[in-house]
A and B are shown apart, each in its own frame.
Chain A
């Protein structure tokens, strides 16, 4: 029984290629989970979504002229960040519009360029949905380097990043370089996206950034725990996705995305602080010791006004 299970688990990795792929997926999952935690807490999901899209034309141009995809994507990302900065200075353009505008244009440029090529449907698919099975050792080294860099930065600046994430005013008051720390985070995000593009592709990358981090958020009470859980569930999702892809023949990137959703749903069901089971047991009673009632914000106040006005009406 145990032997069979072991054989079942080990079978995919008798091929050397799949051992590389496994390592890549684990590294990418860990890195995305770590960086994604900041993305989730800072509510930067849309930016995390847009960054891979803005790298698309760079990748296509590099592909067309036969250059390095890595540098193509990197240059495109830098141009995109500069352009977002310029767009934000325009009259009346909000951040989400600026980002939306830019990444759509980038995507359109990429599509136009690639559709002038013969056989573009296949290339398009591999760019959009990723081809983890086609990784080269260089890709793995790149991912490892980026993962190491992320870990290093987190270890060095953990307190600062934490403070900027949760209380910018306080961080600024203490004389921390808030802007610089923001840029640091953006740089880490861009590097992570770059390193993960090959594995999960353009469209589904946000799944590995956001979902594991949200899972960690549901389960953890403290930030370091959240980071660890996010990284763990990212790596786990990658491995499960790989097995699904191997045994079911599903697209690899999509299986990884779906298995990270599966883990999230599991956490949603079982989480001690926000889970459905806990909620059903306590009937909505606050079981979370750290939970405080949310401060009244725009929505909440609106509710109050409307209920009082209804009471006052008759």
Chain B
């Protein structure tokens, strides 16, 4: 139990893990809401294309040294414009238009990349995401973008639903259907940009598709589907990221795998329910054995536990959402348009001021031998793995032995194939004792410097002298404090957020009942 708690809380001590968790949760929530529209409108392919065309936008922005998020949004906007232009040409079907536009833009991105000889590692980060490299400023922009998307969804909920299900009716009552289509595409584009950081351009559409599909298995109503989809998305993001902390594979891939695992689970549960249902209407036997067998039904039965839990959490979410919606959604469309325009302007201002870098200061993820650990055999190499890609030529590692001599045996190099790790060979047959490792490095993307030190010990009996501080001395220079927080403090922002939401919901509820 304690172990489980530690496993849950331990990663939260690190700033980059906290940021990453918040980012994936935000992505899950946003994508769940917008994904419901993608689902009912059958826009999967378009969403896929939009996710991909963020790539050339980001590449152009990278080459020009501009804000990458804005580049991504512009890339997606260009796609929307080109597809709707090309779709008007006779003899070019909509799906061909999407295919042609997105592949052209994507290959443009690849060519820009190969022309500029940018680093492999950079491409990897854009293609498959690097959620652990997210910085605080970046997180703020992401949060604002996600908030805007959710806001757009709420403000124009009625109009979007009508345009999705009955376009004729929508036109007949004078709604700007084309404008609403563009709005929806814009929302999808913004979601894709949010997701690029977390799961990468290749997989971002899966966050738009899989959680809503999971929710669709459980409900027939759109608002409930949105809430459930958001829930599943956030859950998949958080669980996937936790797993990625322990299994060292691509976190984006894991997040998507968790999402699809949820889908399979829910599908199996609904099948189980469908199979069990006939058994319930069978005439019940009066024998005590049969009665016992019925009460001994496993606690995980969907009828008994999962369904109420799901319903409660969903209903709570819908409650809050509908309260907010009643407050704002009832006002005439022009007012809501004004709200939307003002908040878009605010976002633009914010992103102009914030010099958003997509990479944060390097922070140590782990080292081999481990920080503060005691190894029995003398290691031949020392590896330090960072949260972002680092430049081996601008890195130093000093290893000082117990007798004060240098224990390294060569130059610092990049770990073969891992751009986020540096390694240094150690002298053979190192003596037992405590070794102090002092490192400096620089992130590859933005040349943000960082330094720190830790200790490890060799030998069965040796105790690292600086055991208590070993974990806490890795502070990037100029970066935010990473260690030193008590484990539970990492939960504070999340708890605070939850509390705020709950308070807001309660307040709205009270005003609502009074009216």
Contacts and interface: CB of A to CB of B under 8 A. Distances in A.
A binds B: yes
Interface of A: 40, 43-46, 48-49, 90-94, 96-97, 99-101, 104-105, 107-122, 124-125, 128-129, 203-204, 206-207, 209-211, 213-214, 217-218, 248-251, 253-255, 257-258, 261, 264, 268, 273-274, 288, 291, 298-299, 301-303, 305-306, 309-310
- What are the 9 A-B residue pairs with the smallest beta carbon separation, nearest first? A119-B417, A104-B206, A115-B250, A111-B253, A108-B256, A254-B107, A257-B107, A306-B171, A254-B110
Nearest to B267: A90
A53 to B, nearest CB: 9
A109 B417 contact: no
Contacts of A109: 253, 257
Contact of A105 (B216, B256, B415): B256
Given A97-B209, A129-B110, A274-B90, A91 B217 contact: yes
Interface string B403-430: 0000000000001111100000000000
A293 B363 CA distance: 64
Contact of A116 (B39, B216, B248, B267): B248
A100 B249 CA distance: 23
A124 B45 contact: no
Nearest to A119: B417
A121 B121 contact: yes
A116 B249 contact: yes
B166 to A, nearest CB: 9
Interface in B303-334: none
B486 interface: no
Given A116-B248, A124-B128, A204 B103 contact: yes
A121 to B, nearest CB: 4
Nearest to B100: A211
A298 B166 CA distance: 10
A96 B95 CA distance: 12
B127 A104 contact: no
B203 A111 contact: yes
B171 A305 contact: yes
Interface string B112-130: 0111000011011001100
Nearest to A307: B171
A49 B171 CA distance: 33
Contact of A210 (B99, B213, B417, B418): B99
25 contacts: A40-B96, A45-B98, A49-B99, A100-B44, A100-B45, A101-B206, A107-B203, A111-B253, A114-B250, A115-B250, A115-B253, A119-B418, A120-B417, A124-B128, A204-B103, A210-B100, A211-B100, A213-B96, A214-B100, A248-B115, A251-B114, A254-B106, A268-B89, A273-B90, A310-B174
Contact of A214 (B45, B92, B419): B92
Contacts of B376: none
A121 B120 contact: yes
B168 A108 contact: no
B209 A100 contact: yes
B213 A93 contact: yes
Given A111-B203, A115-B250, A258-B104, A273 B91 contact: yes
Contacts of A44: 95
Contacts of A128: 127, 202
B111 A298 contact: no
A261 B203 contact: no
Contacts of A254: 106-108, 110-111, 114
B254 interface: yes
Interface of B: 39, 42, 44-45, 48, 52, 89-93, 95-96, 98-100, 103-104, 106-108, 110-111, 113-115, 120-121, 123-124, 127-128, 167-168, 171-172, 174, 177, 202-203, 205-206, 209-210, 213, 216-217, 248-250, 252-254, 256-257, 260, 263, 267, 415-419
Nearest to B250: A115
A111 B202 contact: yes
Q: Which of A107, A109, A248 has the most CB of B within 10 A?
A: A107
A45 B96 contact: yes
Nearest to A109: B257
A270 to B, nearest CB: 13
B112 to A, nearest CB: 9
A104 B217 contact: no
A99 B48 CA distance: 11
A46 B249 contact: no
Given A116-B249, A210-B103, A254-B108, 18 more contacts: A45-B45, A45-B98, A97-B39, A104-B210, A105-B257, A119-B416, A121-B121, A122-B417, A124-B128, A125-B123, A250-B115, A261-B103, A274-B91, A274-B92, A299-B167, A303-B171, A305-B172, A306-B171
A287 to B, nearest CB: 11
B167 A264 contact: no
A55 B99 CA distance: 19
B213 A104 contact: no
A255 B106 CA distance: 11
A268 B91 CA distance: 10
A124 B250 CA distance: 12
A254 to B, nearest CB: 4
Contact of A302 (B95, B167, B419): B167
A115 B92 CA distance: 39
Which residue, of B91, B103, B124, B210, has the highest number of chain A Cβ atoms within 10 A?
B103
B237 to A, nearest CB: 13
A214 B252 CA distance: 34
Contacts of B89: 218, 268, 274
A255 B206 contact: no
Contacts of A298: 167-168
A214 B168 CA distance: 30
Contact of A309 (B39, B104, B106, B172): B172
B206 A111 contact: no
A122 B120 contact: yes
A97 to B, nearest CB: 5
Nearest to A200: B107
B99 A206 contact: yes
Contacts of A251: 107, 110-111, 113-114
Nearest to B274: A91
Contacts of A121: 120-121, 123-124, 417, 419
Nearest to B415: A118
A288 B90 CA distance: 11
Contact of A46 (B45, B167, B260, B418): B45
A253 B250 CA distance: 25
A119 B168 CA distance: 54
Contacts of A207: 99-100, 103-104, 107
A301 B169 CA distance: 11
A108 B115 contact: no
Given A111-B202, A261-B100, A305-B171, A43 B95 contact: yes
B256 A104 contact: yes
B171 A253 contact: no
A253 B110 contact: yes
B281 to A, nearest CB: 21
Contacts of B92: 214, 217-218, 274
A306 B172 contact: yes
Given A96-B45, A105-B257, A43 B93 contact: yes
